[in-house]
Structure 1
Amino acid sequence: MSKKIPVGISACLLGERVRFDGGHKRSVFAAEELAPYLHYEPVCPEMAIGLPAPRPALRLTQGEEGEVALRFSNDKESAVSGKNSAVTENMQAFSAEKVAQLHHLCGYIVCAKSPSCGMERVRVYQPDNNNNQKEGVGIFTRELMAQLPWLPVEEDGRLHDPILRENFVARVYALHEFNQLWAGGLTRAKLMDYHSRYKLLLLAHSQPKYREIGPFVAKMDRWESLEDFAFAYRQLLMDLMKLPASRSNHTNVLMHVQGYFRRELNSPQRQELSTLIDSYRRGIQPLLAPMTLLKHYMAQYPHPWLTGQRYFSPYPEALRLRYGY
């Protein structure tokens, strides 16, 4: 896979001083730890529609008929005043046009709580007071997720959670590999090989969804258009991987892999591996512990199918994403 993966990002998260107060919200994880592997395409929707920095803060406001619009927080006029209406219309027009140019991206990191970029729980205010509910989505991100529903999108704040962080990066790499496959020319054999490589990783994310996607792939030959199949498969794949891999599912996968070495390992070795997997299941050991021992046995007793499984290397090991859980 190519080392530099195209990913969109809110410009403020890279340290650009584009926020309403003239500051930024630089994310160390995005700007330093992920940066060597990604090609960022930064966007600040508010600056893109001509607003200066600094500027009056914007916020989402609910209109009389339930529609959500942007409004300057220091504006005492109605939510449908000319100035506010223009900002909303400009943001919606920019978002639609910009997102239409982003189909090549493999992920997007957005700024939390932003009325333009927030992914969830953005405050939506009543038009004439400060009453609000955390139930909104930023206008740009709403368009992003509507036009590109398969795209991995995550907020900077949620990336502090080690499970959500690992989940996002795994999805970005999976989509990048799939997009590269697609760009190289679709064939049934390539699509089957791709799905086969991801079987254990998908099983770690969701056993029920894993059992659904398998029969879907098996019926690939019934599709008249491989491109139509690829569109549908990509959505199913990304929906499945959006479900964070659980400890119980990881345990199930580890025990499944252990079965491949029954004949090669002696009794003490089998007991050691079983104990380590159970220690992970009980939260005593991190996932890295049984994974390391299994990789040792994979090197000692190679198995072609296991060696090709993305489960063991879904992204660069240097990111250290499996160290903390």
Structure 2
Amino acid sequence: MAEQAASREGIPVGISACLMGEQVRYNGGHKRSRYCLEVLQDRFAFEPFCPELEAGLGVPREPIRLVGLLNEEPRVVGTKDPSLDVTDRLDEVSEAFVDAHRHLRGFILMKGSPSCGLERVKVYHPNGMPSHADSGAFVRALRRHFPELPLEEEARMNDAVLRENFITRVYAFDDWKRQVEAAPSYHALLQFHSRQKYLLMAHHVESYRELGRYLAESSKRPLQEAMAHYLQGFMAALGRPATRKTHANALMHVLGYLKEAVDGETRQDLLSAIDDYRLGHVHLAVPIRLLKHYVKRHGSDYILEQTYLDPHPYELGLRNTI
């Protein structure tokens, strides 16, 4: 029932305000995202935020940019007037944002922004020449104070794999927030790991093994310490996009739970579907739907509870394109 309620209310996700169509950019414009507003808004309860506006910069305003040397924290200064330094103000509003928004399950960011850019934001040498690339000031603060929060640029979600990966992370983090963080216990932690096992395996086998070993001894550690360690490792592992090879490995493990329940011909059909996916002949939805059909008929409670089979709403069609 809690899951259904969360679905009706929408999963809380932060978003750069300009992507919502708000006219908050330096030139008074916006960057309205059709995908966010016409597709994801049916599932996510967006909470828009513009760190530059919150830091007291008006609309319109002088553009700002990152300035600094390689291997040092860049400053955020005015493009025309370098004496306009908003670094400390952005740090303050970013940290205040995190303190007030621990309930978020993800954040969708504006590409290339000196505050909200996820990566490859230009950093200029103090002499005005381009130097290197970094993340925006707000993004660096999110990573520093809220490292487990799933982040993605709206523009990068044009890539089907990155889109599916981000939304998978949002739903997995939502599961954690509702089922573990809301009522912390060693049992809740173990149950979370149990149902996320094959999703974790599909993203990073080494993390799947390491976290399993860690949990075997977790009761000897303080609960909050065990939860923090697990969540950090889990979200970092999911941050690695799964490949056809790693998906095929997870699919084979799911198939292993059916080997005694299906006849030889059916097993061969399932093996062929997995191999066709691994070789790039079909999308992930093909072997998943076949496996789910037989898992519903013959699977144990354990395999039926695996989030890997339904990590996000089927209606989003995310596995039809990877």
Same-fold status (TM-score > 0.5)? yes
Contact 1:63 1:69 in 2 (8 A): no
Contact 1:254 1:277 in 2 (8 A): yes
1:127 maps to: 126
1:270 maps to: 267
Provide, for residues 165-187 of structure 1, a one-character-per-residue CA deviation record: whole Å limited to 9, x for no partner.
11111111111111112343222
1:290 maps to: 287
Query: What is the deviation of 1:49?
Result: 1.9
- Residue 302 (structure 1) aligned to one of 291, 299, 302: 299
Query: Partner letter of residue 103 of structure 1?
Result: R
The CA distance in 1 between the partners of 2:187 and 2:134, in whole Å, is 43
Query: What is the deviation of 1:237?
Result: 0.8
The CA distance in 2 between the partners of 1:317 and 1:134, in whole Å, is 41
Tell me the secondary structure at the aligned position of residue 190 of structure 1: helix
1:179 maps to: 177
The CA distance in 2 between the partners of 1:240 and 1:65, in whole Å, is 26
Tell me the secondary structure at the aligned position of residue 12 of structure 2: strand
Provide, for residues 30-74 of structure 1, a one-character-per-residue CA deviation record: whole Å limited to 9, x for no partner.
222111111111111111122222222111112799552222222
Contact 2:258 2:299 in 1 (8 A): no
Q: Which runs of 5+ in 2 are unaligned?
A: none
Contact 2:14 2:46 in 1 (8 A): yes
Would the alpha carbon gap of residues 134 and 15 (structure 1) be closer, same or farther in structure 2, given more than 3 Å must change?
farther
2:76 maps to: 70
Runs of 4+ in 1 over 3 A off after TM superposition: 63-67
Would the alpha carbon gap of residues 65 and 203 (structure 1) be closer, same or farther in structure 2, given more than 3 Å must change?
closer
> Is 1:143 aligned to residue 141 of structure 2?
yes
Query: Partner letter of residue 26 of structure 2?
Result: F
How well do the aligned residues superpose, as a CA RMSD in angstroms?
1.7
Tell me the secondary structure at the aligned position of residue 144 of structure 2: helix
Compare 42-51 and 309-318 and name the one that shifted more.
42-51
Would the alpha carbon gap of residues 252 and 182 (structure 1) be closer, same or farther in structure 2, given more than 3 Å must change?
closer
Query: What is the deviation of 1:162?
Result: 0.9
> Is 1:235 aligned to residue 232 of structure 2?
yes
2:249 maps to: 252
State the TM-score, normalized to the length of structure 2.
Answer: 0.93
Would the alpha carbon gap of residues 267 and 120 (structure 1) be closer, same or farther in structure 2, given more than 3 Å must change?
same
Contact 2:67 2:74 in 1 (8 A): yes
Contact 1:8 1:43 in 2 (8 A): yes
Query: Partner letter of residue 148 of structure 2?
Result: W
Compare 119-128 and 210-219 and name the one that shifted more.
119-128
1:55 maps to: 61
Percent identity, please.
40
> Is 1:12 aligned to residue 18 of structure 2?
yes
The CA distance in 2 between the partners of 1:168 and 1:95, in whole Å, is 22
Tell me the secondary structure at the aligned position of residue 154 of structure 1: strand
1:27 maps to: 33
> Which structure's CA Rg is the greater one?
1
2:88 maps to: 89
Contact 2:180 2:192 in 1 (8 A): no
Tell me the secondary structure at the aligned position of residue 101 of structure 2: coil
Provide, for residues 57-95 of structure 1, a one-character-per-residue CA deviation record: whole Å limited to 9, x for no partner.
1111127995522222223xxx3x2xx13x233222222
State the TM-score, normalized to the length of structure 1.
Answer: 0.92
The CA distance in 2 between the partners of 1:38 and 1:154, in whole Å, is 14
The CA distance in 1 between the partners of 2:262 and 2:188, in whole Å, is 34
Tell me the secondary structure at the aligned position of residue 45 of structure 2: strand
1:281 maps to: 278
Contact 1:62 1:127 in 2 (8 A): yes
Would the alpha carbon gap of residues 55 and 229 (structure 1) be closer, same or farther in structure 2, given more than 3 Å must change?
same
The CA distance in 2 between the partners of 1:170 and 1:63, in whole Å, is 36
Query: Partner letter of residue 143 of structure 2?
Result: M
The CA distance in 2 between the partners of 1:66 and 1:255, in whole Å, is 46
